[in-house]
Amino acid sequence: MRQAAIILGVLALSACASEEKFQQAAASWIGRSEDALVSQFGPPDRSHTTSDGSRIIEWRRQNESYIPGTPPTYQTYCTGRICNSYPVGGSPGFAYTNWCNLSFTVHEGVVRNYRYEGNSCAL
């Protein structure tokens, strides 16, 4: 468990710098054409047209990972000729999902704004 916590801590610290780069990259699309955006990212996963004619186009990214657990060590205690072993420590494995949704608001064919959410929006 401690090893998993250390790994996640390092990832969280490195994600801060990478998230800033992600924001800069997303912001660089403001003012550019929708065609250029779709050419770069491919077809969006989802799109919606608002009442003012703007389009919101969204790309989604998701993957699942698993961090294996660690086995316990065993302590053996003997009383007379009877010995018993007991597990000590160890940790179960756990699964987690990384995801990021990135959407752009496009008005009259030009990117006007962006929005993102998720735990894995980083470069």
Domain ranges of the chain: 2-118
- SS3 assignment, position 77: strand
Q: Which helix H or strand E contains 101, and what residues bound it?
A: strand 94-107
pLDDT category of residue 72 using cuts at 50, 70 and 90: very high
**Tell me, what's the pLDDT at 17?**
59
- Tracing tokens 């294996």 back to the chain, one arrives at 68
Kindly state the average pLDDT of the residues 76-87. 93
β-sheet with 46-49: strand ranges across: 46-49, 55-67, 94-107, 110-118
Q: How far is CA 56 from CA 27, 38, 51, 53, 111, in A?
A: 15, 12, 11, 10, 10
**Tell me, what's the pLDDT at 13?**
44
Percent of the chain, pLDDT > 70? 86
**Tell me, what's the pLDDT at 15?**
53
pTM of the model: 0.69
